[in-house]
Amino acid sequence: MLWQPINLTEVCPAHTQLTACSNFGYIYLALLAHLYGDSEDRRIQEKLHIREEETFGKEEYDFIVVGAGAAGCVVANRLSANKHWKVLLLEAGAEQPDVTLVPGLSTSLIGSSIDWSYQTEPNGKSCLARKDQRCGWPRGKVMGGSSSINSLVYVRGNKLDYDGWAALGNEGWSYDEVLPYFKKSENNLDLEGLSCYHGVGGEQPVSRYLYIDRPNIMMTQAFNQGGLPIRDYNGPFQVGAMPAQAITRDGIRVSTNKAFIQPIRYKRRNLKVKIKAEVFEILLSDNKVAYGVKYMKNGKVHTAYAKKEVIVSAGTINSPKLLMLSGIGPKEHLSDLNITVKQDLPVGENLHDHVTFNGLIVALPNETATLIAQDQILNEIKCYKDMKVKRGPMSADGPANNIAFIKTEPDLLAPDIQFHIGHLHRGDYVREPEIADEISIFPTPFYDALLVRAMNVVPKSRGKVLLNPANPYGKPLLYANYLDDPTDAIPILKAVKFAVSLENTTAFITNGARYDRTPLTACKYYEWGTDEYFLCLIRSYTSATHHQAGTCKMGPSWDPKAVVDPKLRVYGVPGLRVIDASIMPFAVRGNTNAPSIMIGEKGVAMVLEYWLNKSHG
């Protein structure tokens, strides 16, 4: 059986150090291809005898939505609920393959054909031990976007974040004003008395994993014994620890594609979805009104027209790229590329991400480790496929199930550190974490060491997205600029000391867990445990958290760095909005998938309000 929706074997050349191209690697990939070689969208199409063929004649719609990611799927769903409006949803990637539904295979998707596989540009201050001093930035190139390939964690951020947005002049974006939009989408399956903070009737399932292994329990207990209360980090207080809330139901990933598009895609005749359709230009009239897009599909250029609005939901990287290709962006940069400047705006600036590092390794003894023999791994994958309600290790995302937030100074009003736990296969694959975990094609539930990552959720460093002079239509230049502000490392260093102290907890001791104190190669001239050693790790083994934000910044008209207004309308370009994580003035304290869904809900609500009031007026 040919596996068309995703081709993991393309990853092999980059993964030779991980033995992905060994006999077991090929067997593993072949098994995935056999078990998960089709997609639910494709099967529904065949059952209903529906084909989304090329449109002949003039393509005219009321709304065009660019990007079927965390926000775009929400936007397309809500707009197409009005049967009088025709909506076109364009996605550059393919259908969402079934392999993405397995939480335990999340890291297997990195570097595959449904990943844009972006990389940062070196800045000489971070990612120093990585190849060419570049950090990898995987982003979903598939229906559902990054919600189809991420670590599934559902974190909203802190009340202070949204109140901070509002304080900058973004009317309507305070915590109390955005909370209803979080609740609208959410269908919380583990509600335990905090109904005023959670929704139960929305399209997006949120639940804890059905399987929690021994190291996960150990880490939650250790955080608790280290002084962190067990509490709902999406409730009124964020400081604490808790097993992750995730975008799962019955042990299956529920991306925004699966939650918002699949249920309606072949029922609403006014919604048209096109995959492998990459938009490369937003059409603007002489007076700069957006009226359509040009996109590439099957090697041909197509034009689609929007009678009401073009809505860009292509994400923090691709949204600014598209705007700049269309002449909307920094005048100097566009002029250098001979792109006609139609609207001079700081598009692509204010790029930032929560920064962390690999290298703080917790070694697990055999009785605590979850690493199993290769034939057992294959058997677990097959067993998962056969279960109606998915349980067992493949139904969870390994150690990523642990979430904790701390304040590194007692007088802080909100957390400045989020802990994320990664995994390692120390004995069988690599020991150097500059590549471990981030490109592992093997299932996440099976490991014999943990990576404790402390991420700075309030970074000061800012970078930018630029078009590539060698090929503006290709991968853009991503200047993450991690650790450009040296103070960004300070809270991480303080958090590392807290993490190391967990070795003295009963949870660590009774499970035989200990920190591996062997200095890593890039920092071998420093003594393990010293500030100098950990600072070296932070700069050498820098790791992205994939929470990129800010490149089409939302702000009031007096903000010189604003690209969109508080209603997400692009300044000076009527008929064009950006609705995704790129509009964040600053990233929230936490993962960005849940906030992106909220931005989709609130953003489309403003679109609906405008056009419904206009029609009634």
Contacts of 476 (CB under 8 A, 6+ apart): 118, 317, 320, 321, 465, 466, 467, 468
540 annotated ligand-binding residue: no
Residue 42: predicted pLDDT: 78
Average pLDDT for the chain: 91
Q: What is the mean pLDDT of residues 501-505?
A: 98
Q: Which domains does the chain have, with CATH numbers?
A: 8-616 (3.50.50.60)
Token pair, residue 365, equals 């003894």
pLDDT tens profile 167-220: 999 999 999 999 999 999 999 998 765 678 999 999 999 999 999 999 999 999
**348 near 464, Cβ under 8 Å?**
yes
Q: What is the mean pLDDT of residues 390-411?
A: 94
279 annotated ligand-binding residue: yes
**CA distances, 526 to each of 483, 501, 513 (Å):** 20, 20, 23
Q: What is the mean pLDDT of residues 138-163?
A: 97
Q: Which amino acid is present at 529? A: G
**Between residues 9 and 512, the one the model is more confident about:** 512
For residue 54, name the pLDDT band (cuts at 50, 70, 90): low
Nearest to 424, CA basis, from 450, 396, 394, 397: 450
CA 391 centroid distance within chain: 24
Residue 43: predicted pLDDT: 78
Q: How far apart are CA 608 and CA 606, in angstroms?
A: 5
The most distant pair of C-alpha atoms in the chain lies apart, rounded to whole Å, by 72
Contacts of 524 (CB under 8 A, 6+ apart): none
Output phi, psi for 430, to 5 deg: -125, 160
pLDDT at 121 over 50: yes
Q: How far apart are CA 429 and CA 369, in angstroms?
A: 15
Identify which of 1-5, 71-75, 612-616 has the greatest average pLDDT.
71-75
152 annotated ligand-binding residue: yes
Residue 3: predicted pLDDT: 31
pLDDT at 440 over 70: no
pLDDT tens profile 239-257: 999 999 999 999 999 999 9
Residue 372: predicted pLDDT: 87
Q: What is the mean pLDDT of residues 537-547?
A: 94
Q: What is the mean pLDDT of residues 394-402?
A: 92
Q: What is the mean pLDDT of residues 443-468?
A: 95
Token pair, residue 480, equals 């993450």
Q: Residue 217 in 3-state DSSP?
A: helix
Identify any residues that bridge with 142 across adjacent strands, giving them in sequence order: 94
11 annotated ligand-binding residue: no
Burial category of 503 from C-beta neighbours within 10 Å (exposed 0-12, middle 13-18, buried 19 and up): middle
Q: What is the mean pLDDT of residues 399-420?
A: 96
151 annotated ligand-binding residue: yes
Residue 483: predicted pLDDT: 98
**281 near 305, Cβ under 8 Å?**
no
Query: Following DSSP, what letter does each residue of 82-149 receive, concatenated?
Result: STTS-EEEE-SSB--BGGGG-GGGGGGGTTSTTB--EEBPP-SSS-TTSGGG--EE--B-BTTGGGGT
pLDDT tens profile 3-48: 334 454 443 333 333 344 556 666 677 777 777 777 888 777 777 7
Residue 538: predicted pLDDT: 96
Residue 210: predicted pLDDT: 92
Token pair, residue 593, equals 């998938």
pLDDT tens profile 272-281: 999 999 999 9
Residue 235: predicted pLDDT: 92
Radius of gyration of the chain (CA): 23
Quick check: is 547 catalytic? yes
Given the residues 49, 84, 547, 616, select the one marked as catalytic. 547
Residue 46: predicted pLDDT: 74
For residue 425, name the pLDDT band (cuts at 50, 70, 90): confident
355 annotated ligand-binding residue: no
**Between residues 45 and 135, the one the model is more confident about:** 135
Kindly state the percentage of the chain with pLDDT values over 90.
Answer: 79
**CA distances, 446 to each of 71, 150, 368, 426, 454 (Å):** 32, 18, 11, 11, 22
pLDDT tens profile 563-595: 999 999 999 999 999 999 999 999 999 999 999
pLDDT at 385 over 60: yes
Burial category of 563 from C-beta neighbours within 10 Å (exposed 0-12, middle 13-18, buried 19 and up): buried
Output phi, psi for 115, to 5 deg: -120, 130
pLDDT tens profile 325-382: 999 999 999 999 999 999 999 999 999 999 999 999 999 999 999 988 888 988 998 9
Q: How far apart are CA 28 and CA 311, in angstroms?
A: 40
**CA distances, 208 to each of 156, 183, 389 (Å):** 15, 17, 14
H helix and E strand count, the chain: 14, 27
Lowest mean pLDDT of 35-44, 123-132, 401-410, 506-515, name the range. 35-44
